[in-house]
Amino acid sequence: MGSSQSQDTQDTKPPPQLGKSGKKICCSCPETKKPRDECIVTKGEEHCGDLIEAHKRCLRLEGFKV
C-alpha cells in the first residue's frame, strides 16, 4: 500500500519556546497584548507605538527575543 513511516520522523520540530511563566509567546503578556491589539485595530499601527513597545518590553522580561 505505501510507506508506513510515521509523520513524526519526517516533521521533527523543536518544542515551542516558553517564557519564564511557562507560556508560549502567543499567550504571554495578555495585559499588554489586548490593549495593543485593540489600538492597532481601531487607530492603526502608527498611532500605537507606546503600547507596541510596552508589549515588547513585557515579552523581553519573559525571556523572548523580540
Sorted by where each begins, the domain ranges of the chain are 29-66
Q: What pLDDT does residue 37 have?
A: 98
pLDDT digits over 8-64, tens only? 456 688 888 899 999 999 999 999 999 999 999 999 999 999 999 999 999 999 999
Q: Cα-flanking dihedrals φ and ψ of residue 52, to 5°?
A: -65, -45
Residue 7 has pLDDT above 90, yes or no: no
> Was domain 29-66 assigned CATH 1.10.1040.10?
no
Torsion angle defined by CA atoms of residues 23, 29, 34 and 39, in that order, rounded to the nearest 10 degrees: -130
What pLDDT does 11 receive?
66
Beta strands in the chain (DSSP E): none
C-beta atoms surrounding 55 within 10 Å:
22
Residue 64 to residue 2: CA distance in whole angstroms: 42
DSSP codes of every residue in 26-40: GGS-HHHHHHHHHHH
